[in-house]
Amino acid sequence: MRIFFSYLVVLTTFFSGVRAQMTLENPILPGFYPDPAICKAGSDYYMVTSTFVYFPGIPVLHSKDLKNWKQIGSAISRPSQMDFMGEQVSRGLFAPAINHHNGIFYITCTDIDHGGNFIITATNPAGPWSNPVYIKEARGIDPSLFFEGDRAFIIYNSDPPENKSLYSGHRTVRIYELDLTTLKVKGAEKILVNGGVDLSKKPVWIEAPHIYKRNDFYYLMAAEGGTSVNHSEVIFRSKDVRGPYIPYEKNPILTQRHLDPGRKNPISSVGHADLVEGPDGNTYAVFLGVRPYAGDFYNTGRETFIAPVKWVDGWPIINADYKEVQYKYNVNWKEQKHADQLPITGNFSLKVAFKDSLNTQFLFLRTNNPDWYSFRKNKNALTINLLPETILEKGNPAFIGRRQQHLNSSASTEMDFSAQNENEKAGLIIFQNENHFYYMCKSIDNKKNVIQLFKGNPASNQMDLLKQIVLPKSQNKVYFKISSDKDHYSFWYGSSNKNWKLLADKLDGKFLSTAVAKGFVGSLYGIYATSAGKVSNNQAVYSWFGYSGNDSTY
């Protein structure tokens, strides 16, 4: 049960001048980690985020201190659990929530095109997680659970009353009681919120609801205003879990929509929050936000942020002491790092050797089919079969990607590949969706080894050749690097990891932004090989994958 206790935490309030033991740095999950939800089990914290059609789906991350997060598994890790084939990148899984109750972990989520809202369970948050149980009666998106004693409830965004919209974006928040033994609804559905805080003002997209209990009140928190620049978080409360819920007169409790978009290093579009008790006994909120450049352009997608919550007159206010969401918050508890944690926050560089498996930071499109990739243990290399499927389609191309987590970043790889036909290509890609990407690859043209640079074309659903250079005929091994500087991407190739030649400089990065490409995802760097619609027996061999990020706000 999500309960926030009202008591004085002596150690955290004694002498306000005491120096904090730790600094929370935002974003706590940089890059494409949207729609966060969190729960606490003992002294452990677990968080989940949306993945849409990327596979494995729904990362499960663990922390002891709300700062250092390690992915311990994925809730959707078996192709038998879920099928995203044929779906556009921004479909698939929307907005998971995670709960812990009586030794069992529950994740609720929406498979937007197949089955709708569902529940999966596990006794170990690292997995394995059960097959989904679909809650057909709970029609809508963004489900979450609330537990009180032996009772459980599912809360979700749904259609307007009688499916009659009074305006575009008119939605409701609804509730069903849930039988935990059968995971079936029982009793009658009830509308808790119609439209939003004030129906007369035509509020839009009331979504991502959570219910908490504190003292004698049930608090219903939800996002409002859509997930872009007008995003916000609002709060209601009631003496009964099934309402009526009265909105806070000073809503919203979190937004940045009123601030100057030209401010330095903005964090915007904040909302879709969840509350949790911190190690100091106080309340904290995790929520999504973005770090835009040049107005509302961003390539890193919607990310996960954290801020303290202050209770004022019985209402929770997120980021109460500041107008702007801060990049750093000082807190009074001890930092607890994971001994074997891969870098995920702050500025870092890493180089992943392909030895015998892929780490949790790598993602496939729509499913994981190990038939087209394998590891050469004696050479520490990853072999990828060239597939007829292309990145422009909605299948499972030979693509393995990693999130772009910084505005200033780079990705690199070493590849051994010899094309036999002009349709055979292998290389490095920066990918936002099926039509918005840049692809640097090795191929042949007129029987000559070439490096090619392509750009996705949304109008033709093809890719356009931007540049081509000829390589020595004997050169099979090549190094690729793509670097980003906010709205510019540069492309490099070389014969070694220290001998780079510029292929193209400062190409348009806004092409990869959410504002241009649309959808709900961020950009991924990835390795990608294809035979472009024709059967091929050829293979590309990748030795390692490197990533580096360096943002001024860290």
Q: Residues 369-424: pLDDT tens digits? A: 999 999 986 678 999 999 999 999 999 999 999 999 999 999 999 999 999 999 99
> How confident is the model at residue 18, as a pLDDT?
45
Q: State the DSSP code for 297.
A: B
pLDDT band at 339 (very low <50, low <70, confident <90, very high): confident
% of the chain residues with pLDDT over 90: 92
Mean pLDDT for 117-129 is 98
> How confident is the model at residue 5, as a pLDDT?
39
Quick check: bond before 128 cis, omega within 30?
yes
pLDDT band at 341 (very low <50, low <70, confident <90, very high): confident
What is the rounded average pLDDT for all residues in the chain? 95
pLDDT in tens, 505-522: 999 999 999 999 999 999
Mean pLDDT for 8-32 is 68
Contact 383, 543 (CB under 8 A): no
Contact 254, 221 (CB under 8 A): no
pLDDT band at 20 (very low <50, low <70, confident <90, very high): low
Q: State the DSSP code for 265.
A: S
Distances (CA, A) of 348 to 34, 137, 140, 202, 293: 21, 46, 39, 45, 21
Mean pLDDT for 535-539 is 97
Neighbours of 171 (CB within 10 A): 24
Q: How far is it, in rounded angstroms, from Cα 408 to Cα 521?
A: 18
Work out the angle at residue 257's Cα, subtended by the Cα atoms of residues 255 and 259, and round it to the nearest 5 degrees: 105
Query: Does residue 223 register a pLDDT over 50?
Result: yes
Query: Does residue 26 register a pLDDT over 90?
Result: yes
Q: How far is it, in rounded angstroms, from Cα 321 to Cα 41?
A: 28
> How confident is the model at residue 14, as a pLDDT?
39
What amino acid positions are annotated as catalytic residues? 35, 207
> How confident is the model at residue 507, as a pLDDT?
98
Distances (CA, A) of 290 to 221, 265, 463: 21, 11, 28
Residue 517 in 3-state DSSP? helix
> How confident is the model at residue 473, as a pLDDT?
81
pLDDT in tens, 249-304: 999 999 999 999 999 999 999 999 999 999 999 999 999 999 999 999 999 999 99
Q: How far is it, in rounded angstroms, from Cα 304 to Cα 286?
A: 7
Q: How far is it, in rounded angstroms, from Cα 286 to Cα 46?
A: 12
Report pTM: 0.94
Mean pLDDT for 153-160 is 98
Residue 125 in 3-state DSSP? coil
How deeply is 425 buried, as exposed, middle or buried, from its count of CB atoms within 10 A (0-12, 13-18, 19+)?
buried
CA dihedral 288, 291, 294, 296 (to 10 degrees): 0
Query: Does residue 503 register a pLDDT over 60?
Result: yes
Residue 540 in 3-state DSSP? strand
